[in-house]
Chains A and B, each alone.
Chain A
């Protein structure tokens, strides 16, 4: 068992020193940016042009759904959100600290990425995980 939390996805990076961040792979040929490691760009087909970039923690709400029914054991309701980060990458996650009510959620509302424990979920070895969430910018 790790004594430190593990990243919930491989594109969430936890450096030994400094704050956690999201990492993208950016194509040097066309500029498309991807979540997760890859070697060929699926936009332009360029090979071995990828370099890692640290993604912005700031973005805007693009689309969402308020989920009232999920799989057994998943707490509902929650807001499933698609966010456009300021550097042009779209990312999906839970929008927190907002009422799960369409009257209270506005398209393009500014949000920030925050890093927190993964709702107490642990893997079969008992490891804790660090996840990311979106919340309205104060």
Chain B
């Protein structure tokens, strides 16, 4: 099977756009991605569209109503916070299988403010605050405290993740926020669910990101190989059975499984990765994923953040975009925005936040429930 390449990719600056519709927000990044490679909607043979908030609303077709109704097949995808990555992967798989040689993937989300999650549904009475908490900050706090019980990880170490990612975002004009948050500010911010303070929770924003994926033959024919990004691995997993997964949604085993498969598919190891965009929906989560992705050994994540190994300029920079914590987390768009970020570094076009000499990068998202999507990308030779 021939390789598939990202030839065009872009995202809009994340923000809050209450006056726009979801398809309008999605159409913006779709056009940007087409412009990035100089192609037109008439060149696209299929559209894979990721969105959660209007999962039954035919968002992909409504995007085409904004940018060109060419009659191509549209697949609308919903897979929690792995939605964008899943749409991208479906597009990749179709090209890889030889069904099409040029397709478009779009991820888009319009978010409300406030807490996500909760155990309020079902019959009888609300269970939130009665049978523990189903809010996302608490669920990921409990996952972080599991790491604390195993390895003694501290509140301060979790907080340092936010300091780092907020710092990174000051170098990213497309991030929602560009604000430094020193350690004492992060630790003294409003406590949401210990150990996650408000500044350790991802930002609910609106946004979209899009990618054009071509077969190798097509990319060469179109003369697009110069800035093309090769997809070395694309993996999607669900959560394998774990003893506590009925009460503690498991973000670890599906990530470990996906990482193992991704490294195998790419024929690479963690030591070959130059930068990572991983799913820092909460500061606690980033710590877990250093180990889950094999960026360090089990129990070493606390030391890794202390030593600055994952900061820009460190051994393996993580979330130089600012991450979900500061760039923002429009659920359905996040998985493709991560791919935009890594591709931009591999192209050497990341400006002030450029990871010098980046050749291979990894993206990771987790949808609770659970779905894990990992992509390994490399600059085309």
Contacts and interface: CB of A to CB of B under 8 A. Distances in A.
B126 to A, nearest CB: 7
A67 B145 contact: no
Interface stretch (B127-135, B173-181, B332-340): B127-135
Interface stretch (B77-85, B202-210, B239-247, B259-267): B239-247
B181 to A, nearest CB: 18
Contact of A76 (B127, B129, B155): B129
A66 B125 CA distance: 22
Given A70-B115, A94-B129, A8 B124 contact: yes
Interface centre among B138, B143, B190 (most CB of A within 10 A): B138
B194 interface: yes
Interface stretch (A13-21, A48-56, A78-86): A78-86
Contacts of B113: none
Interface string B94-131: 00000000000000000000010010100011111111
Given A82-B244, A90-B247, A121-B126, A68 B131 contact: no
A63 B246 contact: no
A56 B193 CA distance: 28
Contacts of B155: 102
Interface residues of A, number: 45
Interface in A89-133: 90-94, 102, 107-108, 118-119, 121-123, 127, 129, 131-132
B194 A63 contact: no
A122 B125 contact: yes
A53 to B, nearest CB: 15
Provide the main secondary structure of the chain B interface.
Answer: loop
A29 interface: no
A71 B194 contact: no
B130 A131 contact: yes
Contacts of A64: 142, 145
Provide the main secondary structure of the chain A interface.
Answer: strand
B246 A35 contact: yes
B192 interface: yes
B191 interface: yes
A123 B124 contact: yes
B126 A63 contact: no
A42 B245 CA distance: 11
What is the interface residue range for chain B against chain A? 35 or more
A1 B234 CA distance: 54
Nearest to A122: B125
B93 interface: no
B138 A71 contact: no
A6 B125 CA distance: 10
Contacts of A78: 129, 133
Contact of B193 (A35, A69, A75): A69
B307 to A, nearest CB: 25
A64 B144 CA distance: 9
Contacts of A123: 124-125
B138 A74 contact: no
Given A78-B133, A92-B131, 5 more contacts: A65-B139, A69-B192, A71-B129, A71-B135, A132-B131
Interface of B: 115, 118, 120, 124-133, 135, 137-139, 141-143, 145-146, 148-149, 155, 190-196, 241, 243-244, 246-248
21 contacts: A8-B127, A8-B130, A62-B149, A64-B142, A65-B138, A68-B194, A69-B190, A69-B191, A71-B120, A71-B129, A76-B129, A78-B129, A78-B133, A90-B246, A92-B131, A93-B132, A94-B129, A102-B155, A119-B130, A131-B130, A131-B131
Task: Please name the 10 residue pairs, one residue from A and one from B, whose CB atoms are nearest each other, closest first.
Answer: A65-B141, A80-B132, A92-B247, A74-B129, A90-B244, A66-B194, A80-B133, A107-B149, A121-B125, A92-B132
